[in-house]
Amino acid sequence: MNLIDGKKIAAQTRERIKAETEELVKKTGVTPGLAVILVGDDPASAVYVKNKTKDCAEVGFRSFEHILPASATQEELMSLVGELNKDTAVHGILCQLPLPKGLNEREIINAIEPKKDVDAFHPSNVGKIMIGNYDFLPCTPAGVMELIHSSGVSVSGKKCVVIGRSNIVGKPMAMLLLHENGTVTVCHSKTVDLKAETLQADILVAAVGKAKMIKADMVKEGAVVIDVGMNRDENGKLCGDVDFEEVKEKASYITPVPGGVGPMTRATLMQNTLTAYKLAMGLE
């Protein structure tokens, strides 16, 4: 079993982004800027926002935080997005999801200027990913692809199984594996025999949000196992969708939780912000 160290690969990614940013800022005199919108006081979201601010500082970006109360209206949020779309100092806009009840997420995502949509959730960016001609990739699936590449395993011709069909992870994940010539199966809550599907997988990506759901008897010997889940176990400890202690004995490569996919998701957000900046500056 080889551990795929997301922290280490993310640190290398940030180093590369920092070096490129320094060069570009010297050339243009303009610093890349990321605006993060947080509505309400969800503690997990607050931690994410703090981490994003820290990452921006590390790679040399400007960070703009907009924290609105949970009582904020759809109109206030739409108005803020409109201002950020026009603000030339802001190259990337990210609205932290989920939004408090009563707010329309789809309307907010659709309002973000596609060239500033560093989450790649806008329908036009989703469509571009579908046809393989994209500016940005969603942060988690793109981070997962980096982790797979780091293992040296080629996706081409491999049987890939993705568990979960969310718009944020599962669906784009399947698309990226397909773009690299994987043979892809997407499993979900209506899949009749999940174990029969996962046992076929050369590359298994679990993104379902159920603690330690994937056991050793569901994993093919020598599979590459990527755990996107972020859950709490019965003792309140962070864990993934994969029962790590069991599955590591069978996997050829496996990501830990924490320290696997999470750090790469954040590093990819920095990469997307740099791409958005380059698009805005006419450097792409």
pTM passes above 0.85: yes
User: How confident is the model over 116-125, as pLDDT tens digits?
Assistant: 999 999 999 9
35 touches 49 (CB < 8 A): no
The predicted pLDDT at position 1 comes to 86
Q: Which residues are the active-site residues?
A: 52, 96, 119
Is the pLDDT score of 165 beyond 90? yes
Q: CB within 8 A of 95, min separation 6: which ones?
A: 36, 37, 39, 77, 81, 108, 109, 112, 119
User: How confident is the model over 27-71, as pLDDT tens digits?
Assistant: 999 999 999 999 998 887 888 888 999 999 999 999 999 999 999
Q: CB within 8 A of 190, min separation 6: which ones?
A: none
Q: Which H or E element spans position 14?
A: helix 6-28
Assign 189 to helix, strand or coil: coil
Domains of the chain: 30-113 (3.40.50.10860), 139-262 (3.40.50.720)
Q: How many Cβ atoms from other residues are within 10 Å of residue 42's Cβ?
A: 17
The predicted pLDDT at position 43 comes to 82
Question: What secondary structure does DSSP assign to 47-93, as a single string?
Answer: HHHHHHHHHHHHHT-EEEEEEE-TT--HHHHHHHHHHHHH-TT--EE
Q: State both tokens at 69.
A: 């109360």
Higher pLDDT, 154 or 45: 154
